[in-house]
Amino acid sequence: MTYRVCFVCTGNICRSPMAEHVFRARVEEAGLGGAVEVDSAGTGGWHEGDGADPRTVAVLEEHGYTSAHTARQFRASWFPALDLVIALDEGHARELRRLARTPEEAARIRLFRSYDPGAGNSLDVPDPYYGGYEGFEECLEMTEAASEGLLSAVLSGLREGRPE
């Protein structure tokens, strides 16, 4: 059984590719590369075919992560193949719930920071696009913190054969 996770932000050039690469590294470190597929997409198609934002690439590479990426838009038809659809903020979660065609598909949607016990009530990962480099660094910190909890949930899901 392959467990499939897709991260979703607005244009798939900042937050979701960062989350994809960080979480994929955690999956590989845990020895689960063959059991877990990690991907990302955007709620909109403005950047389809583009690479990640250069600031995303710089932050990822500076911290030892891979960065190869091609942006794409999330499609409702992907839900059946995914175990978890991870929204980077509440706006993305609302859009994804709108796209979900069944209650079962909607139940696969989670906010990324809900996996970070230190996040408190602040579950959105702020969009760094219109700010400076420090916003991308902050995004990386939030992504690394949430990835640990998400990995635990995925491990539980793999053991139980269902999403967590």
Residues belonging to the active site: 9, 15, 127
Residue 115: strand, helix, or coil: helix
**Closest listed residue to residue 85, CA positions, set 26, 119, 142, 43:** 43
Residues with Cβ < 8 Å from 107, sequence gap 6 or more? 163
List helix spans (H) across 38-127.
Answer: 54-62, 90-99, 103-106
| Separation between Cα atoms, residue 23 and residue 32, nearest integer Å | 11
The tokens describing 138, both together, are 């902050």
Q: How many CB atoms sit inside 10 A of residue 40's CB?
A: 27
Q: Give the torsion sign (CA, 22, 40, 110, 129).
A: positive
Crossing angle of helices 133-160 and 15-29, in 10° steps, is: 50
